[in-house]
Amino acid sequence: MASLIHCPHCGMRPKEEFTIRGAVPDNRPVWGTPIDDPQWFDSVYMRANPRGRLREHWYHGAGCGRWLIVERDNLSHAVHDVADAQTRALAGDRT
């Protein structure tokens, strides 16, 4: 895993300052959209567990206290992008 992460608020920081929540789900339903129980079950419990490039939610607990979306490769551990999760959500990216 990359030893340094570029937080958009704090700059380059050691990875030990962050907590990884997990992959950003691609199948999450839009809030307020009526869906049935099997669809909710799939969106909450069914995980693809891909290898390669993926996006994850990271929390910068020892820094700014913000949730980030980190795009990284779980094979090479290269970090490709780091963005503030709230900024992405307000821009219309609901993942």
How far from the centroid of its chain's Cα atoms is residue 42's Cα? Answer: 18
In the complex with Zn ion, the residue whose CB is nearer, 7 or 70, is 7
DSSP annotation of 51 reads: -
In the complex with Zn ion, the residue whose CB is nearer, 16 or 36, is 16
**Hey, CA dihedral for 86, 87, 93, 95, is it positive or negative?**
negative
Token match 């962050």: residue? 18
Q: Which span (23-31, 44-52, 59-67, 84-92) binds Zn ion, by CB under 5 A?
A: 59-67
Kindly state whether residue 60 participates in binding Zn ion, applying the rule CB under 5 A: yes
Kindly state whether residue 10 participates in binding Zn ion, applying the rule CB under 5 A: yes
Q: Give the integer Cα–Cα distance in Å for 62 and 19.
A: 9
In the complex with Zn ion, the residue whose CB is nearer, 10 or 83, is 10
Residues of this chain that bind Zn ion (CB under 5 A): 7, 9-10, 60, 63-64
